[in-house]
Amino acid sequence: MKISWKNIIRLTLLVLCGAALGINIYLANAGRLVGNQLPMPFGYGAAVVLSGSMEPELSKGDLIVVGEQEAYQMDDIVVFQDGNSLIVHRIIDITDDAITTRGDANNTADNPIHPSDIKGKVLFWIPFIGTLINFIKTPIGTLCLIALAILLVELPRQKEKKKDDEARQKIIDEINRLKEQN
């Protein structure tokens, strides 16, 4: 197999689709089997904002990247798990054994939480990408991703095969023509 840019791009896209599927399976298992809604391998995780409680800073559908921290400070936007839900709110008060948070768009503060309940601090976010990620997490989204991977691999391969078959047929035709001349 010759190495070309087409093959490299095709392979890269296939690896990315496979990685997305693998991550999807990992996250589903972490959430359903273990109850951990935000797995943080290597101290980092990603989540999608599901409500408008942090408007205008964060919007519904934003993808947030969260990192574990040694300590948290006032005004940090943090993520903590409340039952089976993740909450993304800003720290408004810190005492020795409790942290109080509130969504920027909310009028009331949340119940105080222990610092160990915090998963991490929001390091950065990418607007609207979370909507696409949530779609990929659905069964139909996963099927679309698999179909896309197959199309990315098979369609170009079929075109190359057709070209190779045509070239092979031309060679066979030329061989047959030369045999008839002899």
Q: Which residues participate in catalysis according to the annotation?
A: 51
First-to-last CA distance in the chain?
35
Question: What residue type is assigned to position 14 of the chain?
Answer: L
Paired with 44 in beta bridges are: 67
Peptide bond into 56 cis (omega under 30): yes
φ and ψ of 180, to 5 deg: -65, -30
Q: How many Å apart are CA 76 and CA 120, to the nearest integer?
A: 10
CA distances from 77 to 13, 31, 114, 128 (A): 34, 22, 15, 18
